[in-house]
Structure 1
Amino acid sequence: MSENQVSGPESPATVADADASAAADQRAPRSGDGSARPITPGTQAAEGTYRRQTVSFVRRGTRLQGKRQKAWDEHSAYLAVDIPRHIADTSVHPEYSFDAEEEFGRTAPLVVEIGSGLGDAIVHAAKENPDKDFLAVEVYTPGLAQTIQKLVANKISNVRVVQANAPEVLRTMLPTGSVSEVWVFFPDPWHKTKHNKRRMVNDNFAPLVARVLAPGGTWRLATDWSSYAEQMLEVGNAAEEFTNVHDGEHSGSESPLTAARLSGVDCEQSDEPDTVGGWAPRFGGRILTSFENKAHKAGRVIFDLALRRN
């Protein structure tokens, strides 16, 4: 299981789903007069549960303790974006729009990391690039708290964290064309075939990323699972909004896919070379995390992609 958790649609609606939706309706946010606030069709809140829409996570423990709790209590008021919710604590009210210029007090390129985990990549990048602003999107509260710890320890002010379901962040929360780069590093691979449908990076996700990226902006992806890498490449090549920055490059013996096939660590072993290519060199702005090191030790190959917004 990768450090960034991804979930997706389950079985068709059942009686249990209907009961869950009814229960969710009972929990719906109320207006001042006690009536339920209207819910925009097509949002997570309209579904009542996460069952029918792909979401960016699997729910995990959210309890904070010790230093994480202290960091959250003392610093989340100004480092965590306080967004209006609908039913779930990770939903985003569809009328809310994030104003980066107001939040950071300046105009600067905005980089968004989807699934920021414990914050290693984004904290390092923010420290190295003080001229840019960064938004860490994550649903795992302890991960956000630990990210805040690192920001405070390093006296970094150009990062904000947000606990939210990524597709909703991309669909409504971020203004169109407001982002210079979107990062999706090591999302959950759901490597069993029957679970592939849960993968976040799919044909429906690409237009959401395209919506928030400014023309010429970059969508950077990385994974340590060859089948997911091939899916990411297919999604990028099929999306009319994007151009593969390294189209045709790193094929044959230079391809990470060729290396993965030869090793057979995460796929059927084969000496068939990758004749297509399209892989990017390792993104120099991504710090080598403990998670990526574990992938190397397990013998898995790292794949990078860079897609440019047309």
Structure 2
Amino acid sequence: MSEAQERAWIELAPQYVIESPRDVAATSIRPGSSIDPAQVWGRAAPLVVEIGSGQGHAIVHAATAQPETDFLAIEVFRAGLARTMLDADKAGARNLRLVEANAPEVLEHLLPEASVNELWVFFPDPWHKKKHTKRRLVTSAFAALASRALVDGGMLRLATDWEDYALQMRDVMSAAAGFEAGFEGEWAPRFDGRVLTAFERKGARVGRDIRDLSYRRLPRS
């Protein structure tokens, strides 16, 4: 990290970062380490979670625009989290928290069941080489964890600029128990709550179409 990012981590992490007991890996979550969102944020409010928040452009913008909603950024790269904290502090976004951890473990262990109103996965690593596609995040196992975390009626929002990953996401979620499509036709309209980032502009500039998908958590029986 840069000196500014190192300083941000020291000064701002106590305000923004959720510390959790680790399992074996440095970014793991120990089973049984569940948080109470109302205690963490100091209130009862809708919760939006972004997986792979990067440098935080989308989630800081959203948290600043929606102070009545709580936000959680999940990211494994500390430099990105430091940048997120710097921007959040500058914007006065006090409704944002961060966790440095593997997203599936956060969904499985850290967040209580039916605690998330919206779950965002915007431009996850496409692992575009055929031998690496098994590393992609959106799989049937991920869909089951998303189903656990979301409240009834909660939304899973996905976006990617890789066509074959978009097709995989759609196939996975079409077969996932507990979800229904939140759109008609092939793809969802662009989610207007997603700020246009430099990353998205770059994908469009090199000719990759941006594809959105959205799925609603069905009521539990």
TM-score exceeds 0.5: yes
Q: Match of 1:269?
A: none
Q: Which has the higher strand share?
A: 2
Q: Unaligned 5+ residue runs, structure 2?
A: none
Deviation, 1:65, is 2.4
In the alignment, structure 1 residue 300 sits paired with structure 2 residue 208: yes
When structure 1 is superposed on structure 2, of 187-196 and 132-141 the one drifting more is: 187-196
- Report % sequence identity: 51
Show the counterpart of 1:126: 63
TM-score normalised by L of structure 1: 0.69
1:112-147 superposed Cα distances (whole Å, 9 cap, x missing partner): 000000000000000111110000000000000000
**Equivalent of 1:90 in 14, 27, 30:** 27
DSSP-derived class of the 1:84 partner: coil
The CA distance in 2 between the partners of 1:75 and 1:246, in whole Å, is 39
Aligned AA (1:288)? L
Partner Cα separation in structure 2 for residue 233 and residue 138 of structure 1? 23
**What residue is the counterpart of 1:171 in the other structure?**
108
Superposed CA offset, 1:87-117 (max 9, x none): 2210111111121100111100000000000
- Gap runs ≥5 in structure 1: 1-63, 250-276
Q: State the partner residue of 1:68.
A: 5
Q: Show CA shifts across 1:231-262 (max 9, x none).
A: 00001100121000114x2xxxxxxxxxxxxx
What amino acid is the match of 2:131?
Answer: K
What is the alpha-carbon root mean square deviation over aligned residues? 0.8
Report the secondary structure of 1:168's partner residue. helix
SS in 2 for 1:307: strand
Separation in structure 1 between the aligned mates of residue 170 and residue 14 of structure 2, nearest angstrom: 39
1:163 positional shift? 0.2
How big is each residue's C-alpha offset from its partner over 1:12-71, in whole Å with a ceiling of 9 and x where there is no partner?
A: xxxxxxxxxxxxxxxxxxxxxxxxxxxxxxxxxxxxxxxxxxxxxxxxxxxx22111111
Any runs of at least 4 consecutive aligned residues in structure 1 with deviations exceeding 6 A, and if so which? none
**Matches of 1:67 and 1:246, distance apart in 2:** 42
Letter in 2 for 1:99: D
Aligned position for 1:181: 118
The 5 A counterparts of 1:102-113 are 102-113=39-50
Number of aligned residue pairs: 218
- The one-letter code sitting in structure 2 at the alignment partner of 1:215 is D
Greater relative contact order structure (CA < 8 Å, 6+ sep): 2
Residue number in structure 2 paired with 1:288: 196
- Residues in 1 aligned to 2:161 and 2:170: alpha-carbon distance in whole angstroms: 13
Q: Distance in 2 between matches of 1:305 and 1:129?
A: 22
Q: Are 2:53 and 1:116 aligned?
A: yes
- Pick from 207, 211, 216 the counterpart of residue 148 of structure 2: 211
User: Which amino acid is the alignment partner of residue 91 of structure 1?
Assistant: S
- Identify the residue that residue 98 of structure 2 maps to in structure 1: 161
Give the aligned residue type for 1:80: V
1:152 counterpart residue number? 89
